[in-house]
Amino acid sequence: MSVSACLDDLTTTGTLASGHTVEADWAGLTSAGLPVPGRVPGVQVDGYFPDSSTSNANHGWNHDAQFVLRMPDHWNGGLVVAGAPGVRRQYANDRAIGDQALAEGYAFAATDKGNTGAAFYTDGVRPGDALAEWNTRVTQLTVAAKGALTRHYGRPPARTLAAGLSNGGYLVRWQLENRPWLYDGGVDWEGTLWRADGPNLFTFLPPALRAYPAYAAGSAAAHQSILDAGFAPGSEFLWDYHYRVYWDLTQRIYREEVDPSFDGALAAGTPFCASGTPSCDADYAYASRPASVARAVERISLTGRIGKPLLTLHGTLDTLLPITRDSDVYDAMIRDAGRGALHRYYRVEGGNHVDGLVDQYPDRLRPLGPCFRTAFDALAGWLRGVRPPASATIARPAGATPAELATSCDLS
């Protein structure tokens, strides 16, 4: 099922006005200062693939596996494919990724990954099914989008790039490991690391949840426990927000997806339960759970065996996926797999998981949106034979204002 429309502007400026995007899908992911591109006329196709779940109500379809494909009139011959971050829907990448891709002449395709919302874990039959579907849906969209571009423009895309942030970054990693023949390269913006033997969400979120109430009451020992879990010194000003908005919900819903037996008949546990409460996720001990749990995680785990060039960005103050438990580990995995020559890794000082809090803390946080745009162009150059800057920790430029950081990022 699909519908198409000729639009005067495929970027978020135009699609907001015409009703061809949903701002709620991408709200909170970027800073207000991220530059807005000029008008890009073209064709937008909205549709869905056959699916049995119905969590996505966009277009009144009540049908998951929804996608959007945007084809600019002035096409550069390339395609960018993205999966939604978090458990958001297909328009979630419009501002952070789609605007950049379209402004440079790429066609842009994005998927809701086949299930959406905080109850995504209700999709599927076996533990891990909903997460595994995400990878299948990105592959499916990539193949379908290539065919659609061939029909629309009369020639296949000359270059296909994968791009994504958070769970979308995980999807880039997985596709380049498992379906490299479909892509020429990818940009991974703080992708989620899944490893059956850890680290993963379940090894660092429970100790943070367990310690946070005592930390908030002034306990130095609890403070150290959160640092020991992997959260960066200097990120303390972000802990309260992430405890309330991210840590508790993320632990409960993803744990329910891979280990539903932990809390019996409960659906995703008890929000903000105190340590010691029966079946409390703050006390979840991943290493002690049955082997079936690790097998569920193994289904979606990463190996580091990428088959095409990959650029990874990660903020040093990421307070959802701590950098030392995620991209530092994944970079080492790639090198251990003998694929280091295919990877560039940029640790961005002062970057958080997403840029939604940058405007609240402009002197303490650095937006990663401009760094993604620089990395995106660096990947395109790499594929033309221009080596990108070496992997590095990107320091905040001396004297740079928040306005300057919102519009540019030098990775060298």
Is-contact 300 333, C-beta < 8 A? Answer: no
**Measuring CA to CA, which residue among 172, 62, 71 is closest to residue 115?**
62
Which has the closest alpha carbon to 111: 47, 182, 23? 47
On whether the pTM is more than 0.95, the answer is yes
Portion of the chain with pLDDT greater than 90, in percent: 99
Strand 66-72 versus strand 310-315 pairing type: unpaired
Looking at residue 412, what is its pLDDT? 87
pLDDT averaged per 10 residues in sequence order, the chain, 412 residues:
95 98 97 95 98 94 97 98 98 98 98 98 97 98 98 98 98 98 98 98 98 98 98 98 98 98 96 96 98 98 98 98 98 98 98 97 96 97 97 94 93 91
CB 375 within 8 A of CB 47: no
pLDDT tens-digit readout, 369-405: 999 999 999 999 999 999 999 999 999 998 899 999 9
- 69 beta partners: 45, 109
Average pLDDT, the chain: 97
